[in-house]
Amino acid sequence: MDARGRQGPHPRMVRQDSERRGRVVGSAVNAAINLGFVVGREVLIGSVPGIVVGYNIASFGQFVGNAYPLVVRTALGVTKCGVDEVDLA
């Protein structure tokens, strides 16, 4: 069955009202910025170096912004990360 024929939300997606989603994601992004994770900052994901290139403002899907607020570019590609997964370089 394709996406158009499916009824109801995806089983892994959590529904929240849109106003609350915006506040939660905004709070997570602001917290990351306050911790020093600003655009252009060099970070380490484990031992892999990267650069913060943006912020994840997604409020639905598998990688929502409140859990993974950072978008980091590494030599392996671009990924979404939580602040507990990265260290300032």
Which residues constitute the domain of residue 48?
18-88
- Domain with 58 in it: what CATH number? 2.30.30
Specify if 60 maps to a domain: yes
Distance between CA atoms of residues 19 and 6, nearest Å: 26
Q: Could you state, in chain order, the average pLDDT of each consecutive group of 10 residues for the chain (89 residues)? A: 56 53 78 95 96 92 91 97 94
Structure tokens at 48: 């892999």
Question: For position 18, what pLDDT does the model report?
Answer: 53
When divided into structural domains, the chain yields a total of 1
pTM, two decimals, is 0.73
Question: For position 1, what pLDDT does the model report?
Answer: 46
